[in-house]
Amino acid sequence: MGTLFTYKRVLSILIIMLLIANSTFFTSCSRSKPTYLDSLQNAIRRVPDEASRVELFLRLAKKLQTTDSALAFSYIQQALKLEEKRDNKLGIASAHLALGEWYRTYRDPQEAEKYLILAKEALKKDTARESRKLMAMTRINIATVMGDKGYTQLQVEEYLNAIPIIEQLNEPKILGSTYQSLGDIFFNKAQYKTATTYYNKSLETYADSAVFTDDIISRHLNLSSCMFYLDSLQQMQQHLSDAKKKLDSMPGDSSNLWASWFDYQGQLDQKHQMYVHATTMFNSGLSIARRYQDNTTICQNLYSLAKLHNRLGQYDIAMSFMNEYTALASSLRDYPLHMPALDLMADIAYKQSNSDQGYRFLRQYITLADSMQEQEVTAKLHELETQFQTSEKERRILQLQHENERQEFALQKNRLLISLMIVIMISLLVVAGLSYLFYRNGRKLLTQQEQLHQFEVDRIRQEHHISLLSAMLEGQEQERTRLARDLHDGLGGLLSGIKLELSTIPTIDDIEIKHDKVNNTLQRLDGAMDELRRIARSMMPEILIKYGLGEATVEYCRGLKKTGVNNIVCQVYNFHTDSMKHTRQVVLYRIMQELVNNAIKHANASQILVLLQQTDNTIFLTIEDDGAGFDTTQGNKLKGAGLANIQARVDFLGGKMEIQSEIGTGTTITIECATSEKNDA
């Protein structure tokens, strides 16, 4: 079977070489002779072997895909019909893969996904080398389609599933390209450390082979861009030097990669405030990019030049570069600098005292930002909409109940404060009375000293208890401050924008424009409603009331992922909701919220683990990250308001908190407490 397959491949290659030779001969002899396309079609009819004809169809389709899409599609369909006639599952899968690639190239992700899934299903159980290679290419194409549809998580999963197959096949070109695609995904998500990991894996795959010189240069340039955003300028310079060594080994400036290299070197010079040299670098890159008519790299260098001249106060020159940029960028789809360019042009226009133009650019920026955000969350909104429609009435009832509980809690807090003041006054009176008796009864000095010592111990315990209550009250005040800030900055800003847009509607005469304004305002009102629901859930999640701490913890982490925090992992083991009072679950939930928020804000971690488990009557809550960490030997210097509030809540539960951390290795915080007050005792 393997010998026959090799024979067919050799025969196909010889046929293609013969066709190319024939086409060259006919073209050189006379223009009245049959064309190159006619020669190919005649040769296909002369091939006696159907398997060779199928392979020839697919090769020609791939070659013509960018020049004659209709003919390429026709060849793929002919290949599919032949393979279906022969009932060749591997050939059918290969044709489906080609159709998926064709639809993906011409921006039809739905059809592309349909044919790629057919190819994937057909190849699942086939372990032959050719089948596994087709499976890897199918997964890579599915990943690309998922990216086009905005499903980033599915895109990453497909790439990761393809990597083990490619490693077994020993295909460094495909493997390096896959790692590079993963790096690009995380780079566009501003996760530069993770992007650096995959770019380095791609670089290691090529093993400094001369065959992959262009790919090696591209990876060094990718890594230099990551280092720029990570502010690791020395490493950025090293990668640029490595890229330059490879570029110098190539003849002249024969590679358009020089244009990107000059752009990155200019950015590094600008970082070092070497503005004259940076200008020279950007102009050199622009010159090479124009020579190769590479619009992407031209726009990249134009943007860098405009940004530099804007920084130097040369606003007219900066705007001239951005005008040229705008003319070219309109032909580039999904270009990552569209939003920064609009932001830069708005800034330049305002500095030129052209407020109308600046406002127009700013509006375009906001519109583009809204559309990009809408593409990223559309799938999530559909899922949430179904859940919202089925539980709307129940949510309203729970909201009213929550309001009543909140008011009752406020009354209880006031009563507690009054009781606390009475206790303090009584304690002071007792201490004063004991002091009076001490001076009056000198003969009972020893006995009174012992009594005073005991009262002093009680007073210290009371003060400690008061400090714990104060810390908890301070935490509540911080929660109110956060709620006020969310209402002011989030909901307030949205409502202000809605008011501003509504105020412009009466002045618009065009009914269509007025209708668009109203629709836009309704969309913003939907956003305001979503923001209000988010704030309400953050005050007291209804899932905590209904299903307990375990489900509330999982839902909280899932909610963080929906907001873009994709580096958090949540695990809950053996937790029994009925074994722990609701009030204690609420306190432990607030502790978990505070620790996770600290890790997100301050740790700069690439991975955060939230672990909740129950052993008999003991609850363990562990928050672990691999971020910056801190020096635990500093003692009380580290106990700011956040850790003090957490410690107060842990003491309220009668539990204990253990902190393990070192600078550069991350932090692990473990909370241990009993399920009930009786067990605490």
**Do 116 and 145 meet the contact criterion of CB atoms below 8 Å apart?**
yes
The better pLDDT of the pair 531, 422 is held by 422
Residue 153: pLDDT over 70 = yes
Task: Give me the pLDDT at residue 22, please.
Answer: 43
71-114 tens-digit pLDDT: 778 878 887 888 888 888 888 888 888 888 888 887 788 888 88
667: confidence class by pLDDT, cuts 50, 70, 90: very high
Most confident of 154-168, 251-265, 436-450: 154-168
Per-residue pLDDT band for 539 (boundaries 50, 70, 90) equals low
Residue range 110-123: average pLDDT?
86
At residue 28 the predicted structure's pLDDT band, cuts being 50, 70 and 90, is: very low
Q: Pick from 590, 597, 595, 526: which is nearest to 563 by CA?
A: 597
Binned at pLDDT 50, 70 and 90, residue 463 comes out as confident
pLDDT of residue 13: 45
| Structural domains of the chain, with CATH | 36-267+277-290 (1.25.40.10), 547-674 (3.30.565.10)
Residue 657's SS3 state is: strand
Regarding beta strands 666-674 and 618-625, do their DSSP bridges make them parallel or antiparallel, or are they unpaired?
antiparallel
Which are the contacts of 491, defined by CB distance < 8 A and separation ≥ 6? 528, 531, 532, 535
- Global pTM reads 0.50
Confidence category of residue 335, pLDDT binned at 50, 70, 90: low
Residue 32: predicted pLDDT: 39
- Model pLDDT, residue 471: 57
* Over residues 252-272, mean pLDDT: 84
Instruction: Please work out, in degrees rounded to the nearest 5, the angle formed at the alpha carbon of residue 679 by the alpha carbons of 652 and 643.
Output: 25
Which has the minimum average pLDDT: 262-266, 372-376, 456-460, 484-488? 372-376
Amino acid in position 401: Q
Helix (H, G, I), strand (E, B) or coil at 288: helix
Beta carbons within 8 Å of 608's beta carbon, 6+ residues apart: 565, 567, 568, 569, 596, 599, 600, 623, 624, 625
pLDDT at 21: 44
Q: What does the mean pLDDT of the chain come to?
A: 78
- Is 617 exposed, middle or buried, given 0-12, 13-18 or 19+ CB atoms closer than 10 A? middle
At residue 146, the pLDDT reads 87
Beta pairing partners, 417: none
65 or 675, which is more confident? 675
Q: How confident is the model at residue 374 (pLDDT cuts 50, 70, 90)?
A: very low
Asked if the model's pLDDT at residue 455 lies above 70, the reply is yes
Closest C-alpha to 602, from 529, 680, 666, 651: 666
The two three-digit tokens of residue 523, written as one number = 């969309």
pLDDT at 488: 64
pLDDT beyond 60 at 385: no
Average pLDDT score over residue span 417-433: 89
- In angstroms, the CA 112 to CA 139 distance is 12
Confidence grade of residue 236 (pLDDT, cut at 50, 70, 90): very high
Nearest to 94 by CA among 141, 48, 164: 141
The pLDDT-based confidence of 156 (bands split at 50, 70, 90) is confident
Per-residue pLDDT tens over the stretch 617-652:
899 999 999 988 888 777 555 555 567 788 888 888
Question: Can you tell me whether residue 291 is helix, strand or coil?
Answer: helix
Residue scoring higher pLDDT (328 or 62): 328
Is 389's pLDDT higher than 50?
no
Condensed to tens digits (0 to 9), the pLDDT of residues 308-325 reads 999 999 999 989 988 888
Q: pLDDT value at position 609?
A: 94
Q: Which two tokens stand for residue 146?
A: 């998922």
Could you read off the pLDDT of 554-609 as tens digits, one per residue? 988 988 888 788 889 999 999 888 888 888 888 898 899 889 988 888 888 889 99
Confidence of residue 47 (pLDDT cuts 50, 70, 90): low
Q: From edge to edge, which strands make up the β-sheet containing 666-674?
A: 568-573, 608-615, 618-625, 666-674, 656-662
pLDDT per position as a tens digit, 197-208: 999 999 899 887
Whether the pLDDT of residue 183 is over 50: the answer is yes
Instruction: Output b/e per residue, 145-169; b: 16+ Cβ within 10 A.
Output: bbbbbbbbebbbebbeebbebbeeb
Q: Parallel, antiparallel, or unpaired for β 568-573 and 608-615?
A: parallel
Helix (H, G, I), strand (E, B) or coil at 601: helix
Q: What percent of the chain has pLDDT over 90?
A: 15
